Structure 1
Amino acid sequence: MKKSILSLASVMLFAFAANAQKVEFEEYDLKNGLHVILHQDNSAPVVTVNVMYHVGAKDEENGKTGMAHFYEHLLFTGTKNIERGKWSEIQSARGGTGNASTDWDRTNYYQTYPSNELKLALWMESERMLHPIIDQKAVDTQNEVVKEEKRQRMDNAPYGKVIYGDVYNEIFDKHNYGRPMIGYIKDLDAAKLEEFQAFYNKWYMPNNAVLVVAGDFDKAEAKTWVKDYFASIPKREAPKREKIVEPIRTKEKRVKVYDANIQLPLVGMGFITPSFKERDAKVLDVISTILSNGKSSRLYKKLVDDKKMALQAFSFSRPLEDYSVYLIGSILAQGADKDELIKEIDDEIVKLQTELISDEDLQKVRNKFENQFVASNSNVQGIAATLAREYLLGGDTNRINNELDIINSITKEEIREAAKKYLAKNKRVVMDYLPESQKK
């Protein structure tokens, strides 16, 4: 079976590359509010079914954190018609794979199969939406799984608090993005079964989700199965959420974070930046590429190659629905001076704020984004996830086809102005990420 899964993945990776430049799709709504997106590509005999729910860590109540991520695990337990513990076994037996992910804005489930198993994939996702097993046994079992994941990914992983956003509480003062995405284990331990059930009833409904079918299938047949399995799922009152407005920072904040799993300090700068839907978010992505994408990038070349002050340099945005988080930083080399390293980073930011980048650098950035776009849309899993995200969080499915146009229209002047506006010293949080041994 392992061989067949690898073969399936290989087919997905290579067969779609030639058709990745423009993504064709059809979309419509069922009467119960479920939005459906169909992307047909018959170049390889595989199909992905992706269901994304508009609920994430930001939607949790105080004292009841971790529910969104918990459901990512819980909904693999089984359903009324899928025996407990048999979900993955069914997938593997039919040549498929599947997984899920959670962030602060959404929870996403997907399955990929040989194309003749589309009916099975749709039925399983309809079962997950309508008939999941949410009992005490399932909750107790998954609670241990979630704890182990937290230990592996954050508690015991070097720099895990930065990678998985556990330091966002230092960046956000009011917004729920400041909570750890995985939640607080003490909240999950204290939660009662009826609270888990209430979370499902509040958020898991067809009118709070999008269903994407991408790959090799017959449209008429797919529409019939979608109707058969999903149209009868009851629509419920849509959950109401109020956007939490984060105050604009006007003074630099400095904090210390300790990690028992590291030997070398990391210096990080965190900024609150616009929603991924905004044009300026793309401009900041361009700035990230200039600063740290590849060994010829400004920060890497200066800090790692030339001055030998750092082992690694990075800058990237965590794209989110209400705001994004922009991080710039570096892992210090042995004996490097932290304040000197911050000064060198600041010098590069000032250059972006005061000087226009060259035509050559701008073209290099555009080339990199084109390569990234092709890579992300070279398989049906990637296309399905992007279509779901752009509809559910971006508000426009066709954003999938507009990204390169936006990147290619960004000017050198916009880059300079965005660096001034969002990367100012008085708007940042500077984090000293230190070994636990340095804690006094």
Structure 2
Amino acid sequence: MARRLWAVLGACALVACGEPANPPGDDNVVITDNVSGNSVPAGIEVDVSYHTLDNGLRVVLSEDHTVPTATVAVYYGVGFRNEPRNRTGFAHLFEHLMFQGSENLPKGDFDALIYGSGGVNNGSTRFDFTNYYEVVPSNALEAILWAEGDRMRAPIIDQEVLENQQGVVTNEVLVNVINQPYGGWIWIDLPMLANENWHNAHNFYGDLSDLQAANLEDVQAFFDTYYAPNNAVIVVAGDIDSAQTLEWIEREFGSIPASEPAPPVDISEPRQEEEKFGEMYDRLAPQPALGFGYHMPERGTPEYYAMAVIDQILIQGDDSLLNQRLVNEEGYGSSVFGGINLLGNMYNYNGPMLWSVGMIHDDDYSHEDIMTTVDEVIETLRTEPVTQEQLDRAITKLRSQFYGFVDSSTRFGLVDLLAVFALFDDDPGRINRIEEGFDQVTPELVLATAQEYLRPTNRSVLRVIPDPDGSLSGDEADEASDEPADVSPYADQ
């Protein structure tokens, strides 16, 4: 049976316990626009100290005494792609379970410890990791490390906790997705259309029947496999003494036993050779919507950095080419949005990814009208090099965004980058070399990248069709039900 209509509009969807898709940052790093002829700063230098404990736990420390707080983040190498078949949404469900208390901190005491010290905490689940993080006054750091160690060693997960969080996650899906117009159209359903491999193409927020079918045996197996120190990274950044912090981490985490390495998961995608089309009917949508996505180059390659430049030129900001043409000139809709990795940022994923674009458009225009205009804009990048001015402006914006991540007062963006570079690349020092990738992008590389990755045969297009009475989808009989109709035609891939 086709799966239900999922959704929350746009790139600002909440995936877990309330963390924004992009970590918040303070735009307090001023970058001179080199288009005007002024030079851009040579770069940044983040303090990075990297260690590995005997049990395999990777530790990243970064001293910065400008703000008297410490940010702690524990990242586990498990996300949506790792969850088992017939247990869609399980990685996200398990993230919730880890907030329900541990051996020495019963439910509620972890939050009380954080908030009582004047701090904040949260967590999220993404494609390739699950994370838990806190910001506290630096004098509370030792206690927070003890609490995180207790959670990694012995979380309390029993039948009562499982049933409670199954209900919580089910309600979250209903509120954030099923009962929202447009739902997960662009960030759940479009990847399900574009990808062939189940691990990239399933409903990662969770089919309700799968969520309810999870049992304690599933929970224990998942914990034993993925929530072990040798599958984790801990990052501590801020007003810290690195030597003392490492001693505390060794004391609190060093005795936790390693597990057998998690079995490898094949997440590879074949090269797309034909354009794909999909339709979904939405009873709550007041207007039609259109989304499309192209498979990205491999993360970290020269073409990957060139696609980041293309993203800036085509879709980011009021002056972007697609916004100018689709919104300002043609008036198809009031806005257009998109980017690389709508559930995070261009750095924090480790597998196949889409560059995605979406817009809600006026009833007077067909999707054929819009895609014809899109093709006209994109073909300009596939047939002639961008100007040096366009390239410089895009790279300036990318630098500004990157500095915003790194220089956030909460340090969420900083610890996120340090954690994923340690988790995916075993190299948190990569944070100090990111700008080198942008510096190597040329107009010729942008042209070659556009020719290969913006070809129509690498594209998937998904329409959202308003269907207030269910007549278009043939689900009129479901109107008396409290449950939404099963309408997505490809969701059982």
Match of 2:35 in 1: none
Match of 2:357 in 1: 328
| 256-265 vs 206-215, greater mean Cα deviation | 256-265
**Separation of aligned partners in 1, 2:69 and 2:436:** 29
| 247-256 vs 27-36, greater mean Cα deviation | 247-256
Q: SS at the partner of 1:194?
A: helix
1:281-324 Cα deviation digits (max 9, x unpaired): 22111111101111111111111111212222234111531211
Equivalences for residues 47-86 of structure 1 within 5 A: 47-86=70-109
Task: Confirm or deny that 1:118 pairs with 2:141.
Answer: yes
| 161-170 vs 257-266, greater mean Cα deviation | 161-170
TM-score relative to the length of structure 1: 0.93
1:207–1:236 contact (8 Å) kept in structure 2: yes
**Separation of aligned partners in 1, 2:175 and 2:366:** 31
Match of 1:237 among 260, 273, 276: 260
**Separation of aligned partners in 1, 2:274 and 2:154:** 50
Q: SS at the partner of 2:395?
A: helix
1:357-416 Cα deviation digits (max 9, x unpaired): 111111111111111111111122211111001111244212212222211220111111
What amino acid is aligned across from residue 260 of structure 2 in structure 1?
Answer: E
Q: CA deviation at 1:169?
A: 1.5
Task: Confirm or deny that 1:295 pairs with 2:318.
Answer: yes
Task: Confirm or deny that 1:44 pairs with 2:67.
Answer: yes
User: What RMSD, in angstroms, separates the aligned Cα atoms of the two structures?
Assistant: 2.0
Q: CA deviation at 1:14?
A: 6.3
1:16–1:44 contact (8 Å) kept in structure 2: no
1:103-141 Cα deviation digits (max 9, x unpaired): 121101101100001001111111111110110111111
Q: CA deviation at 1:333?
A: 2.4
> Unaligned 5+ residue runs, structure 1?
1-11
Q: CA deviation at 1:330?
A: 2.6
1:156-197 Cα deviation digits (max 9, x unpaired): 233331354233211112241111222222112112212111
Q: How many residues align?
A: 429
**Separation of aligned partners in 2, 1:15 and 1:383:** 14
Match of 1:9 in 2: none
Match of 1:158 among 172, 181, 185: 181
Q: Kindly indicate which of the two structures has a greater share of residues assigned to strand.
A: 1
Equivalences for residues 293-372 of structure 1 within 5 A: 293-318=316-341, 319=346, 320-372=349-401
TM-score relative to the length of structure 2: 0.83
Q: SS at the partner of 1:61?
A: coil
Q: CA deviation at 1:15?
A: 11
Q: SS at the partner of 1:398?
A: helix
Match of 1:269 in 2: 292
Match of 2:53 in 1: 30
What amino acid is aligned across from residue 324 of structure 2 in structure 1?
Answer: K
1:243–1:322 contact (8 Å) kept in structure 2: no
Counterparts in 2 of 1:65 and 1:332: CA distance versus 1, 3 Å: same
Q: SS at the partner of 1:167?
A: helix
The share of aligned pairs that are identical, in percent, is 32
| 347-356 vs 376-385, greater mean Cα deviation | 376-385
Match of 2:455 in 1: 424
Q: Kindly indicate which of the two structures has a greater share of residues assigned to helix.
A: 1
**Separation of aligned partners in 2, 1:337 and 1:163:** 18
Q: CA deviation at 1:240?
A: 1.8
Match of 2:446 in 1: 415
**Separation of aligned partners in 1, 2:447 and 2:198:** 28
**Separation of aligned partners in 1, 2:78 and 2:463:** 32
Match of 1:107 in 2: 130
What amino acid is aligned across from residue 400 of structure 1 in structure 2?
Answer: I
Q: SS at the partner of 1:229?
A: helix
Equivalences for residues 187-202 of structure 1 within 5 A: 187-202=210-225
Task: Confirm or deny that 1:434 pairs with 2:465.
Answer: yes
Q: CA deviation at 1:17?
A: 5.2
Segments of 4+ moved more than 3 angstroms: 12-20, 437-440
1:75-116 Cα deviation digits (max 9, x unpaired): 111001001232222211111100001112110110110000
Larger relative contact order, structure 1 or 2 (CA cutoff 8 Å, min sep 6): 2
1:270–1:328 contact (8 Å) kept in structure 2: yes
